[in-house]
Homo-oligomer: A and B are copies of this chain.
Amino acid sequence: MLYFLAQQLFDRVMTLRRRVALLAPFIAILPLAAADAADPPATPSAVVAQAPASAWRTVPAQDLLVMTIEGGKRVVIQLAPQFGPRHVANIRALATAHWWDGTSINRVQDNYVVQWGDATEKKPLPAGLAPTSPVDYVQSLGGMKAKLTPLPYPDPYARATGFIDGWPVAIDGEAAWLPHCYGMIGVGRNMSPDAGTGAELYTVIGQAPRQLDRNIAVVGRIVEGMTALTSLPRGSGELGFYTDAERKLPIISVRLASDLPETERPSFQVMDTGSASFADYLRLRANRKDDFYDRPAGGVDLCNAPVPVRPAP
């Protein structure tokens, strides 16, 4: 459930002794128990745990895609319509048409991507999908500029980076785009200038392949169930595709949360990247100094400061 909380934001303590490893999170949480408001949080996870309700934004149900895979495991994807409007419109149409039901996970390439869609390549697409092209890979920074929280460290792939509306963004002049970070969702495509419809999706499962930025559409991120994908057997075919002798994991259904009965809808909150809590979080992601960390890095890369996400309390 608590993918980002439990696994990415947790106090990242590496220890020889498990007993100490288990103790460490309690040390980090002690200030909470002591309720000493004068002690500022010392770790990113403590910032997240102590962030006030006002620092969180609830994700609209029409931006959540719920994928159920064989065995009943649930993967929840948050869509980013402001960064990929045409692709997101198509993805919503595909979900509403139940297009992914009965498709499968077809590719698991280590340190790269897990990809899913129609392995037969013959399933007709629903009518009315929006045409896409490489112009969709970037969006105009425009009115979003006022909401930018810059990340003040150099990036080898973009002139500037930062966070807008709860998303990591890379920037070059007036162009902004979502980067290929761990857990982000991209749209598979054919050779350029094809830009993909949204029917074939993948998520990043390794070191951020940022060379794909602006060469392919990034349209969202996984907010729950990532480990159901990352722990899958790697495919032995070219590019990590499963061979005929290997088993493609069936996808039972993919639905927009807004199309589910209200009692079955998942609900998530993303930290407001304009909040004081997020500023604290970024500062500590870049400067760990505590019982475990002696030497603060003095910086952090865009994909190593994942925006905190939590199930709505």
Contact = CB atoms under 8 A, between A and B. Distances in A.
Interface of A: 3, 7-8, 10-22, 24-25, 106, 108-113, 115, 117, 119, 121, 134, 137, 153-157, 181-183, 186, 188-194, 196-197, 199-200, 202, 205-216, 226-227, 230-234, 237-241, 285-286, 288, 291-295, 297-301, 303-304
Given A16-B199, A214-B295, A285-B211, A300 B156 contact: yes
A215 B294 contact: yes
Contact of A134 (B109, B294, B303): B294
A241 B24 CA distance: 13
B111 A14 contact: no
Contacts of A304: 207-211
Given A191-B20, A300-B156, A14 B207 contact: no
A221 to B, nearest CB: 12
Nearest to A229: B110
A7 B196 CA distance: 23
A-B pairs with the 6 shortest C-beta distances? A154-B154, A156-B299, A153-B156, A227-B234, A214-B295, A182-B207
A289 to B, nearest CB: 10
Nearest to A193: B294
Interface centre among A8, A110, A115, A211 (most CB of B within 10 A): A211
Contacts of A22: 237-239, 241
Q: How many copies does the complex hold?
A: 2
Interface of A is mostly: loop
A301 B112 contact: no
Contact of A110 (B189, B212, B227): B227
A299 to B, nearest CB: 3
Nearest to A115: B14
A260 to B, nearest CB: 26
Nearest to A21: B239
A237 B202 CA distance: 28
Contact of A191 (B15, B197, B207, B208): B15
A21 B242 CA distance: 12
A156 B238 CA distance: 34
29 contacts: A7-B112, A7-B240, A14-B216, A16-B190, A17-B121, A18-B119, A22-B241, A24-B239, A25-B239, A111-B182, A111-B226, A111-B230, A134-B294, A154-B154, A154-B156, A155-B156, A156-B301, A157-B298, A157-B301, A182-B207, A191-B291, A192-B292, A207-B208, A207-B301, A207-B303, A210-B301, A215-B288, A230-B230, A231-B234
